[in-house]
Amino acid sequence: MTATRASLLAALAVLVAVPWWVPGDYYISVCSQILIYAVFALGVDVLIGYAGLVSLGHAGLFGLASYAVAIALASGSGQLGAVALALAVALLGTAAFAALSLRATGIGFIMITLALGQILWGLAYRWVSMTDGDNGVGVAARPMPFGFNLEVASHFYYATLVVFLLALLAAWVFVHSPFGASLAGTRDQPRRMNALGYHVWLIRFYACLFSGLLTAVAGILFVYYTKFISPQTLALTASAEGVLMVISGGSGTLLGPIVGAALVVIVKNVASAYIERWNMLLGAIFVAIVVFMPEGLVPGTTRLVRRAFKLRPNAPAPTGEPAPGEPAP
Amino acid sequence: MRVNRRKFLAGTAAIAGAAAFPMPSIAQAKGVKIGLLTVKTGPLAEGGFQMEQGVTTYLKSKNMSLAGHKVELVVADTGGNPAGTKTKAQELVERDHVNFILGPLAAFEMLAISDYVVQNKMPTLCLAGADNLTQRQPNAFLTRASATSSQAMHVMGDYAAKVMGLKKVVCLDSDFAFGYEQQGGFQQVFEDDGGKVVKKIWAPLGAPDFTPFIAQIQGADGVCQGYAGAAPVKFMKQYADVGLKLPVVGGETAGDDALLPRFGDEAIGMINACPYTIDLKNDANDKFKALMQKEYQAVPGFYAASMYVTVQVVEAALRALHGDLSKPAQTVKALRAVSLKETARGPIRFDHLGNVVGDIFVRKIVKEGGKLTNVTQKTYHNVSQFWTYNEAKYLAQPAYSRDYPPVKA
Residue B255 lies in a domain: yes
Cβ pair B116:A227 closer than 8 A: yes
Q: Within this chain, do residues B106 and B238 fall inside the same structural domain, yes or no?
A: no
Which residues in chain B have Cβ-Cβ distances shorter than 8 Å to A114?
A: none
Cβ pair A274:B13 closer than 8 A: no
Within 8 A by CB and 6+ apart from A289, the residues are A248, A296, A297, A300, B9
Sequence length of chain A is: 329
Of B86, B108, B204, the CB nearest to A226: B86
**How sure is the predictor about A326, in pLDDT bands with cuts at 50, 70 and 90?**
very low
Cα separation of B72 and A208, whole Å? Answer: 50
Which residues in chain A have Cβ-Cβ distances shorter than 8 Å to B12?
A: 240, 243-244, 247
Q: Within this chain, do residues B232 and B369 fall inside the same structural domain, yes or no?
A: yes
Classify each residue of B78-114 as buried b or exposed e, where b means 16 or more C-beta atoms within 10 Å of its C-beta. Answer: bbbbbbbbbbbbbbbbbbbebbbbbbbbbbbbbbbbb
Tally of CB atoms within 10 A around B59: 22
Phi, psi of B73 (to 5 degrees): -105, 130
Q: What does the CA dihedral A143, A148, A150, A153 come to, rounded to 10 degrees?
A: 180
CB contact at 8 A, B347 and B316: no
Residue B158 lies in a domain: yes
What's the per-residue H, E or C state across A196-242? CCCCHHHHHHHHHHHHHHHHHHHHHHHHHHHCEECHHHHCHHHHHHH
Q: Which of A 50-69 lie inside 8 A of B, CB atoms?
A: 54
Residue B408 lies in a domain: no
Residue B142 lies in a domain: no
B49 contact A CB<8A:
no
Q: Within this chain, do residues B225 and B374 fall inside the same structural domain, yes or no?
A: yes
Residue B289 lies in a domain: yes
Residue closest to B68 by CA, chosen among B340, B331, B316, B341: B316
- pLDDT tens across A188-244, in order? 999 999 999 999 999 999 999 999 999 999 999 999 998 889 888 898 989 999 999
A139 contact B CB<8A:
no
Q: Residue A21 to residues A18, A152, A269, A270, B97: CA-CA distances in angstroms? A: 5, 17, 18, 16, 19
B399 contact A CB<8A:
no
- pLDDT tens across B255-290, in order? 999 999 999 999 999 999 999 999 999 999 999 999
Q: Within this chain, do residues B215 and B323 fall inside the same structural domain, yes or no?
A: no
Tally the C-alpha atoms within 13 A of residue B243's C-alpha that lie toward its C-beta. 0
Question: Which CATH number do you get for residue B78?
Answer: 3.40.50.2300
A189 contact B CB<8A:
no
Q: Within this chain, do residues B159 and B306 fall inside the same structural domain, yes or no?
A: no
Q: Residue A210 to residues A98, A103, B115: CA-CA distances in angstroms? A: 11, 18, 35
Strand partners, B244: none
CB contact at 8 A, B3 and B41: no
Q: Could you give the 3-state DSSP secondary structure of residue A276? A: coil
- pLDDT tens across A43-89, in order? 999 999 999 999 999 999 999 999 999 999 999 889 999 999 999 99
Phi, psi of B34 (to 5 degrees): -115, 125
Mean pLDDT by 10 residues, chain B (409 residues): 51 48 40 92 83 95 93 89 84 92 89 89 93 91 95 96 96 90 96 96 88 94 92 94 94 93 94 96 95 93 95 95 92 96 95 96 94 95 95 94 88
> Least CA distance to A275: which residue of chain B?
B24
| Nearest chain B Cα distance for residue A5, angstroms | 31
Residue B394 identity? Y
Domain residues for the domain of B364 are 151-279+359-396
Residue B75 gets the label, from left (phi > 0), alpha (psi -120 to 50) or beta, of: beta
Which residues in chain A have Cβ-Cβ distances shorter than 8 Å to B20?
A: 279
Asked whether the bond before B104 is cis by omega within 30 degrees of 0, the reply is yes
- pLDDT tens across A292-313, in order? 988 899 999 988 888 888 765 5
If one counts the domains in chain B, the total is: 2
Q: Which of B21, B81, B117 to mutate to test the interface with A (most CBs of A within 10 A)?
A: B81
| Nearest chain A Cα distance for residue B81, angstroms | 7
